[in-house]
Amino acid sequence: MNKILLLPLCIMIFNTLGFSQQVKDVDGNTYTTIKIKDQLWFESNLKTTRYTNGDKILNAKNASKWLQYDSLPRYMQQKLKNDKAIYYNWYVINDKRGVCPSGWKVPSQKDFNELILTLGGAERAGLAMKNQSIWKDTTKNVQTSEFNAIPTGFIDISGQLVQNNIRACWWSSDAQYQETAYSYSIGNMGTHIIRDKFYKKQGNSIRCMKSLRED
């Protein structure tokens, strides 16, 4: 009798509160996941230096290398205060070898739009996504989503890190034109999230996710 009653209770808790699990990438980095309605998201940005099949991604160790590699899929690593950040150009996302762990993906515009709607719309979602202890404009008791966004900036086309501590930028899987693709960003002193059009040669963060609903 107890076992029969326990299963519905577990299902109810799962549906109401969500759940977390840990996922490893091919480099062995571990990510905690969070459930936001019908989606699972990594709680931190991707840090792998290899594709899902184990092949190495080209490492641009400095700005001159970033420029030299031009449109080749590549990443750059930057040391921040207490952590490291890895920035990928969009060509890494477009590579058939994949960059997110198996079963996970780089979010599309549709995926981001669903997240934004769940978090209250474009004018409010940015605040809900922020790590309250890092961003200057957050206040106590703000309802957050545990998305844990950190303002790591991005790599511009010249290979320079810009807007660190000011902005967080993530690639979507969708291209716009031959040289540009869509990304989503939140900034300091703002509650909103915006869709940007970045050059594919620039470097953004990647946040892996999966849908729990069959489309």
34-63: pLDDT as tens digits: 999 999 999 999 999 999 999 999 999 999
pLDDT tier for residue 215 given thresholds of 50, 70 and 90: low
- The pLDDT value given to residue 82: 64
Rounded Cα–Cα distance for residues 69 and 88 (Å): 12
- Supply the range of the domain harboring residue 198: 2-211
- The pLDDT value given to residue 20: 62
Query: 26: Cβ–Cβ under 8 A, 6 or more apart, which residues?
Result: 48, 50, 51, 52, 53, 54, 101
The total number of structural domains in the chain stands at 1
For the entire predicted model, the pTM comes to: 0.87
pLDDT in tens, 149-179: 999 999 999 999 999 989 999 999 999 999 9
- The pLDDT value given to residue 213: 78
Decide if pLDDT at 99 tops 80: yes
